[in-house]
Structure 1
Amino acid sequence: MQNLSETNILEKLNTKELSSKKLEGGKKFQLITEYTPAGDQPKAISFLKTEILNNKKNQVLLGVTGSGKTFTMAKIIEELNRPALILAPNKTLAAQLYGEMKNFFPNNAVEYFVSYYDYYTPEAYVPRSDTYIEKEASINEQIDRMRHSATRSLLEKDDVIIVSSVSCIYGLGSVDSYSKMTLIFKKNENCERDKIIKGLVELQYKRNDQNFHRGTFRVRGENIEVFPSHYEDEAWRITIEYNKITQIKSFDPLTGADNKEINLIKLYGNSHYITPRPTVEKAIKEIKKELIVTLEKFRNEKKLIEAQRLEE
């Protein structure tokens, strides 16, 4: 692990070869079920599969409730062996489909990606009373974890099924920027403990030596323990001796019991909206320039309250 701050710690730490390579790619879909296609299902599976291979983009599978449409689609996904996105009209149906697909593909990456807000009130301004209402929101931590797991799976695996709701059609930003904001740790790699810590902070992981939970890290002697944003019951322990990574292990964050030894890990940011430092610095300069122009405009128009609010 090299220097993470002079240019960009994250770019320095990651080699181009490792950062672009899928660490868990190449796995095929494996449908686990006691059912076999029956009735019209074999014909539907064959027809839909053929049309997809012929690049037909729009097809419809019709069937009454309980006719096995989900199983039919699961069979098609297995035979095509392609990543799949399943969109549901709401969270309730998305959760149902997620559970069914999880049962059909227990050995593959079936992920859930829906809005993580339990409630959300946008910011507002009432000119008549000069009242500013701040934005209020409550984030569901479990759904946030599942969203991180989904985006990581898309970038690191081939056997991926994402179940989502239509409210999540908006982009998360640049895939390239998100992919760059990673840390790669390899056994027997030369590194310095302080630079690893700086890298974790850049990824918006918070140091907490007392309350170890998802999205935090702690330092214990020669060990740095990280609780990845996409895991619920697994964390990583990186052992550094004489500026060299001598061991990487996964462990149970609740009991501290070791699970397995790992040669290579790739850690993604603790936020989907994390941005490389050069991009942030450039944006800050542009925002400051725009602020000067806007303040002058408001003052010329005698909009002193608006100008004061911007300055605050």
Structure 2
Amino acid sequence: MGSLLSWLMQIQHPNEDVVRRGRIILVLALFANAMAIIAIPLVLIATPQTAFELVAVNLLGLVVYTAVTILARKGLVSVSGVVFASVISLLTLIATFGFSNDNTTSYSSPFFLTFPIIIAGMVLKPALVWLAFLFNLAGLLIAWRLTGIPLFVGPFESALQSAAILLLFGTTLFAFVGGRITEQALRETRRFREEASRNAFRFTALNAGLEMEIVERTTALQATLRDLEQRTAAQARLLAENEQQRQVIRELSVPVLPVRDTILVIPLIGPLDPARLADLQQQALRQIVQTGACDLLLDITGVPAIDP
């Protein structure tokens, strides 16, 4: 049963407002079909004198309501709404003036024409509600004329007729305003949803761009880090080689030569500054410890000047 109703409520139209109105038409048409089916045996029992006519009207209603359902499901919601509201109005007029000669019924029953107006406000666009009002008003005036009911003659008749017309107008105005408010709300909702969809699309594109930029920057940063590590390693190697070269230079600038097992000679060439004297002291002490020499000779013939 649920799957059948779900299938029945499918409206072949992309616009959500049309789908909404189409589903209302389907619900009302199903309800009208059920009422017509129930009314047929009741008419046969309650009013056998007019049973044929009323049964014919209900059967006609079944056919029309079924056609309205088909049109609505195919997406022709406006057409099915116009047909549905028009048929309800015609059936109301026929039931009021076609099978009753009672003036009281003829004066009071037109108030039921507000129901087609309400239905039109639910299933049609707001502007079409006024067409439904004109259709009902014209049908009411024609029915009064054809049945010989005088128009606006006598205080009681004038009051009832004026009240019926004013009620139709008020109901139409109410349905029109309600329809415009609903239409405006749906338009705003659709605009907000479209804007949210655009923002979501822009956010997705921006997020994708940011992710690509992050990947690119991460790759560039990793390449920079690798290059920096390579440069740091190369610099460390150069510093180590430089230190080794400096050590070699210091050793060569202060050579310690063994003359005998217990005698060391250090020939000095060039000026002696505090740094070179410190190297001289370190080299001499280290060689004395290593060789166990007892004498250390300093050859200063190559030194241009000696600081006292």
Higher strand proportion: 1
Which structure has the bigger radius of gyration?
Answer: 2
Q: Give the number of the structure with larger relative contact order, counting CA–CA contacts within 8 Å between residues 6 or more apart.
A: 1
TM-score using structure 1 length:
0.19
